[in-house]
């Protein structure tokens, strides 16, 4: 995995720490995906397999603009419209790791 990801359990549940360059990923995981990554992974798979060249989805906190090589994640509620660009395959790995961790606590 390209990015260093760490997890910490606290009284609110599981918290994820990601590098600041991809900080919207943490908001996506803890706010939108929580324990069910399937809808998000399905859209990513659709693009990675070439069934679609672009998918967009909006959750409670973030919007994803998914392309085969990169995905833009936009924090819908940040004052500065915080966003990041991450490799789509890396985002898929992070989501899958998050779901495994959250479902095992």
Query: What is the rounded CA–CA span in Å between residue 25 and residue 56?
Result: 15
Q: How confident is the model at residue 34, as a pLDDT?
A: 87
What average pLDDT does the segment 18-36 reach? 94
Provide the 10 A C-beta neighbour count for residue 7.
14
Q: How confident is the model at residue 35, as a pLDDT?
A: 82
Q: How confident is the model at residue 78, as a pLDDT?
A: 87
Q: How confident is the model at residue 12, as a pLDDT?
A: 84
What average pLDDT does the segment 21-39 reach? 94
Q: How confident is the model at residue 26, as a pLDDT?
A: 96
Contacts of 19 (CB under 8 A, 6+ apart): 3, 4
Query: What is the rounded CA–CA span in Å between residue 26 and residue 92?
Result: 13
pLDDT tens digits, 50-103: 999 999 999 999 999 999 999 999 999 988 779 999 999 999 999 999 999 999
Q: How confident is the model at residue 83, as a pLDDT?
A: 95
What average pLDDT does the segment 33-51 reach? 95
């Amino acid at each position: 995995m390209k990015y260093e990801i760490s997890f910490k359990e606290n009284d609110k549940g599981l918290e994820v720490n990601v590098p600041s360059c991809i900080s919207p990923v943490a908001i996506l995981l803890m706010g939108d995906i929580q324990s069910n990554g399937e809808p998000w992974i399905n859209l990513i798979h659709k693009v990675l397999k070439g069934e679609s060249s672009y998918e967009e989805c909006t959750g409670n906190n973030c919007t994803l603009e998914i392309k085969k090589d990169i995905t833009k994640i936009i924090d819908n509620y940040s004052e500065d419209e915080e966003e990041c660009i991450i490799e789509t395959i890396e985002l898929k790995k992070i989501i899958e790791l998050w779901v495994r961790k959250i479902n095992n606590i």
